Structure 1
């Protein structure tokens, strides 16, 4: 107690100096206590830099009909919408000042009476709280936000625990620490009063203050609690929000079951049930009328059905202060006092689950978090990336085409089940613009969630984006089956061989395959790779083998090539395994698609063929603008010539045979007059694919086992085997793509690549 009193004396002297000195600069200050006080005060940091507010990052998609960018969702640690001074109703300023700092425009940053009262509480063993001016509260909020902005979890503390420590340190420190905190708060308050106008500080406070949970700032609070704006708040609403800031989570009105938990575990400060039976049994009048005519007391009114009783009590305190200060009339006071608090909760859009394109959204989020090509915009470390996503107020404009996205999701819902008993079934589609790499749509059969426990127990839910790879989807890709034959076909043509050259495609042992990178592959088990449905092999042409997806035919082609060259073709066309590792053709089976590759990579490879051999890196982000309105550096169109236009034309010519009657992908052709190329793929009974493309848009569809080895040929949905749903999904999506992005004819192949070659060798 003695130490506390000594501290009180020192701080009282300082508080007096701080408050009086600006008003009487010629005042002579003397005495040992005063000198020590000034020395202590001067030894503290004197300048507080006002940091940028923590702001939500917002993701947008363009509305093709209007050209306007429409909010898709936002991500935030603090939901905040900064406003200017004239965008806040004057009644809100009156309410906050009446309840928090009625002498705000008269003092120099410190309310001496309130501050002294707080010191006395501390000296008596309490905690330092209350008694702070608006300027001091603003300082406190700036310091809390700075701590929260830099908060990262440690081995011993979760991030939530670190955030809680930030708040406690800035608001509830007791004893000597409490004195020091309060004194530093005073010093900073004096400094900002000298640097900023009263209106600027008041506005800064209302923009930074917490209003419960993750709702920060008066505009976000008005929107969330009352579906209003700060400019349109009524007296009752303003008084409610002014009361909330005193203890934001105690006085919340978004928890119908109560925001305060009593010692016995019961909750109160909850939504009223609308009955008056506990007050006046049998009456039909409402609570408001009963209070107005004096039938019940204010205490009874607050107790009836609860009616957010604690918050109502705090609101009445604010209204009383406003009435005493002459800011509202008797009539306004009575009307607001008897009016019940009726929240109209309007949750802010946040997270990908809140969007109608959740898996595209998550692809964007994963790009922000992990794609190394975007380090210049979002940061080089995971902590910086997370901060960019939730605190920096970035505006991220995406490549999403709502028209195609809607069609893609509709096709997925019509044809793919959300789950299949006994299987971890999944299906995904992705459509990209061939000439730019812009991702136009992503759909998936699952429901999106970031709740790991829910995803672990219910196979309907996931946060994995199956269309993406490990970086963009946290997904490892899937065995591609015969879609991988594309790279053998391209290598065949690059070696100057013809689409109509005879090749021995009979079912036989392939004894060895050349591989200048890893050494010749030897078929030591004399294994014979069979064809789908036990189709017999034959001597034919690559044109025939491609249309009919003949495994033995492509192995005959590979026998004349080098596996290392085929791997190199895949790499040039943008393909890696889903993990990011290079493709590995380690034998005959890999020629027909055992590598696990993401749909986005396969779509990019087929788009290369459609784009005259130029590969464009797929991307979901168009541009990024920071909170100051400056554009940040992000990769745009990144296209390079991966294969020659001549080889691309010949490859397209062969792949068109897949999409016409007699080809394995013909049932996936929209048949709308648009020339189409494509390739089907099946890996055992586990995975199925169709990748198809016009000259403008490429769509890849995968349907199979997200994990495990369930038989998609023996499972059915709506009368169709799961092995066939890739066809209508791709057909429906590509049909809309062809309407929105009309494609033209593919270039004719050069004669030397379609002539009859030398025959088997």
Structure 2
């Protein structure tokens, strides 16, 4: 019993000390409003105060970013706090008066600390009640600034907003400083732009839109009173309409009592009779990729924008708080066409098969990405055919098959072998250079290939395996691999190899974590020309853009322009364009690839849509038919399609009215991938004037 009494006395003594300390702060604030320090008590929390940024008055509030398509339409919003900044003239007098009337009716008389309110709060604290209720609007501004601007996580927020005498001291000191530097109206506007209104809704502008579908300058008395009552009790009021109505009417009564409703009792009574009128559903702003209307289609592009900006030095966290406007290169027409074609060829509920497409516009100074699409919707519900993987822009685990013969052909041209040169294409070839483990490496042709001899141009159209392994031997494997990087596989070939026995991406020994590029070169992987390494659909599309763009490589960029919150352009760190191969070689390679859609492996798919333009094209299929692809480009647009098994246990793919997983597989690049490409690209070229491919450079012909 004695122990309990002693403990009780100690507790009472502690509360008394807290009362004395806080009361001293309040008294100092009243007597010495312009003194930099406010006594010994304040100095005891100097470490906490020193941690507060000096820009408490001028710092920009967290503001979400908007990602736009090329036409200026939003495809995503990203934010930590859904906030829009309202200018002073954009906030109605009702809203200003309502918040002052209910929260701090002596706001225009005090210097940031109100002695009556503070002493009342301290008394409540000593009595074991909440320490709330004593803060002025200026102190509340400080508290919310510390909690929602300075603090970056929930732990920091709780610490910054803890109920304690120390917090009161800190708030009092900073409130005095704020009032010394800012006018009352400025403080009020900053407050209304800062505070939370429930959920992720911050600031009066977002609140007016969310709850009433209006702007803060058009808020009625009843609406403004509801929002003012919501500031400090959002959770409970949003759950209980009756309590919300009572709170709103209390705000109206308090406005009348304190002189902040000049229209008088009649206006008050009329407003109190109005229903709450809250929007149903609320006008909440979707957050992150894929959550805006149409996001299941645009989400892949949005994801690539985030990845691209992160590599350029603008993180997702920067976007969520920095208030940027990202103008992208996404063409909604091209995106919809690619999505429709991908899904028509492989319905999105097809089990275990993804059909993915990327479209890039060639150019000498920029390669804008126009579309990233898949038969899958962007999302997290796999039962609805959704995926959150960035299928069109990330590196897939499957190869592109004979599409990689493009790089062998380019290296052969660079080595002095002409487009019209007759090359050997025997039915079978055993390499004297490359090995298959400890055995000789032997390659044969399948139904896509030919036999005997044919020109390099015909070989690109008919795709005989043996001829390209022989060309790879002549040009040199390292040169072929280097050419793949130069023309566009810059990320794919840098990725960590996950095939073969030796390479191990998780190994502690760095020598075992080697790139695709190094693995192929070190292991003398002659099958590289047959497209056995992992690849990126987007990079394949960019390879096409490089070839038809006179050999000028540019990063596949989704960014048109980045603007800061003030509308000023922001420079981002994008890789510069470079001349991957000389224009004559690129033009000759393009002519070498011009027969695939007229008499080669993609000819039937081209005829299906009555394609009549000159273009480059190359199909590809991996050995056991788990993936197949097509790359095609005109001077106006380049695109790539990859169809692959995306299940946890990949299986071969069979073609048909509806592709399906099977035991042996019969899919080829000239089937689903080429059909997808032509279905998408035919309408997209409707308004692009036909432009023939430039002629080959004579020095690369023979």
In structure 2, distance between residues paired with 1:668 and 1:651: 20
Q: Does residue 169 in structure 1 map to residue 159 in structure 2?
A: yes
**2:127 matched residue in structure 1:** 124
In structure 1, distance between residues paired with 2:113 and 2:302: 47
In structure 2, distance between residues paired with 1:353 and 1:526: 50
What secondary structure sits across from 1:656 in the alignment?
A: coil
- Quickly say closer, same or farther: Cα 1:743–1:56, change in 2 above 3 A: farther
In structure 1, distance between residues paired with 2:378 and 2:406: 32
In structure 2, distance between residues paired with 1:640 and 1:491: 18
What secondary structure sits across from 2:680 in the alignment?
A: helix
Query: Residue by residue, what CA displacement relative to the aligned partner does 1:522-558 show, whole Å, maximum 9, x if unpaired?
Result: 7853453233338663322222211111212222322
Alignment of 1:601-680 (within 5 A): 601-635=539-573, 638-668=576-606, 671=610, 673-680=612-619
Alpha-carbon RMSD across the aligned residues, in angstroms, is 2.6
Q: Does residue 418 in structure 1 map to residue 418 in structure 2?
A: no
Alignment of 1:735-746 (within 5 A): 735-742=682-689, 744-746=691-693
- 2:167 pairs, out of 135, 156, 181, with 181
In structure 2, distance between residues paired with 1:592 and 1:599: 16
**1:338 matched residue in structure 2:** 273
Of residues 695-704 and 133-142 in structure 1, the stretch that sits farther from structure 2 once superposed is 695-704
Q: Does residue 700 in structure 1 map to residue 640 in structure 2?
A: yes
**1:681 matched residue in structure 2:** 620
Q: CA deviation at 1:579?
A: 6.0
**2:426 matched residue in structure 1:** 506
- 1:389 pairs, out of 319, 326, 330, with 319
- 1:483 pairs, out of 399, 403, 422, with 403
Of residues 655-664 and 433-442 in structure 1, the stretch that sits farther from structure 2 once superposed is 655-664
In structure 1, distance between residues paired with 2:13 and 2:603: 89
In structure 2, distance between residues paired with 1:411 and 1:197: 60
**1:274 matched residue in structure 2:** none
Query: Residue by residue, what CA displacement relative to the aligned partner does 1:466-492 show, whole Å, maximum 9, x if unpaired?
Result: 1213xxxxx445311011000111111
In structure 2, distance between residues paired with 1:644 and 1:673: 28
Query: Residue by residue, what CA displacement relative to the aligned partner does 1:283-336 show, whole Å, maximum 9, x if unpaired?
Result: xxxxxxxxxxxxxxxxxxxxxxxxx12212211211111232340433322232
In structure 2, distance between residues paired with 1:681 and 1:594: 10
- Quickly say closer, same or farther: Cα 1:197–1:646, change in 2 above 3 A: same
Q: Does residue 59 in structure 1 map to residue 59 in structure 2?
A: no
- 1:358 pairs, out of 299, 309, 312, with 299
**2:101 matched residue in structure 1:** 98
Q: Does residue 329 in structure 1 map to residue 264 in structure 2?
A: yes
Q: Does residue 19 in structure 1 map to residue 30 in structure 2?
A: yes
In structure 1, distance between residues paired with 2:577 and 2:613: 24
- 1:461 pairs, out of 368, 386, 397, with 386
**1:214 matched residue in structure 2:** 200
- 2:249 pairs, out of 306, 316, 322, with 316
Q: CA deviation at 1:679?
A: 0.5
In structure 2, distance between residues paired with 1:532 and 1:638: 41
Alignment of 1:146-165 (within 5 A): 146-149=149-152, 151=153, 163=154, 165=155
In structure 2, distance between residues paired with 1:531 and 1:713: 20
User: Structure 1: which 5+ residue stretches go unaligned?
Assistant: 26-35, 64-68, 152-162, 253-258, 260-268, 270-307, 379-384, 470-474, 514-519, 756-761
Kept after mapping to 2: 8 A contact 1:478/1:578: no
Q: TM-score, normalised by structure 1?
A: 0.79
Q: Does residue 71 in structure 1 map to residue 74 in structure 2?
A: yes
In structure 1, distance between residues paired with 2:437 and 2:158: 69
- 2:227 pairs, out of 241, 265, 269, with 241
Alignment of 1:292-307 (within 5 A): none
Q: CA deviation at 1:674?
A: 2.9
Q: Which contiguous aligned blocks of 4+ residues in structure 1 show a shift greater than 6 angstroms?
A: 718-722
Q: CA deviation at 1:226?
A: 1.2
- Quickly say closer, same or farther: Cα 1:567–1:16, change in 2 above 3 A: same
In structure 1, distance between residues paired with 2:222 and 2:422: 86
Q: Does residue 495 in structure 1 map to residue 448 in structure 2?
A: no
Of residues 540-549 and 688-697 in structure 1, the stretch that sits farther from structure 2 once superposed is 540-549
In structure 2, distance between residues paired with 1:203 and 1:741: 51
What secondary structure sits across from 2:370 in the alignment?
A: strand
In structure 2, distance between residues paired with 1:501 and 1:41: 88
Kept after mapping to 2: 8 A contact 1:129/1:172: no
- Quickly say closer, same or farther: Cα 1:333–1:487, change in 2 above 3 A: same
In structure 2, distance between residues paired with 1:192 and 1:38: 18
In structure 2, distance between residues paired with 1:107 and 1:537: 95
Kept after mapping to 2: 8 A contact 1:82/1:219: yes
- Quickly say closer, same or farther: Cα 1:193–1:347, change in 2 above 3 A: same
**2:367 matched residue in structure 1:** 437
In structure 1, distance between residues paired with 2:667 and 2:235: 50
Query: Residue by residue, what CA displacement relative to the aligned partner does 1:72-115 show, whole Å, maximum 9, x if unpaired?
Result: 22111101001111101110111111110111111111122221
Query: Residue by residue, what CA displacement relative to the aligned partner does 1:43-97 show, whole Å, maximum 9, x if unpaired?
Result: 644885323201102112231xxxxx33222111101001111101110111111
What secondary structure sits across from 2:81 in the alignment?
A: coil
Q: Does residue 5 in structure 1 map to residue 16 in structure 2?
A: yes
Of residues 700-709 and 44-53 in structure 1, the stretch that sits farther from structure 2 once superposed is 44-53
In structure 2, distance between residues paired with 1:722 and 1:234: 64
Query: Residue by residue, what CA displacement relative to the aligned partner does 1:147-174 show, whole Å, maximum 9, x if unpaired?
Result: 433x4xxxxxxxxxxx1x333323333x
What secondary structure sits across from 2:489 in the alignment?
A: coil
Kept after mapping to 2: 8 A contact 1:491/1:569: yes
- Quickly say closer, same or farther: Cα 1:566–1:340, change in 2 above 3 A: same
Kept after mapping to 2: 8 A contact 1:716/1:722: no
What secondary structure sits across from 1:632 in the alignment?
A: coil
Query: Residue by residue, what CA displacement relative to the aligned partner does 1:611-667 show, whole Å, maximum 9, x if unpaired?
Result: 111112211112222224432222468321111222212211111100114443451
Of residues 91-100 and 123-132 in structure 1, the stretch that sits farther from structure 2 once superposed is 123-132
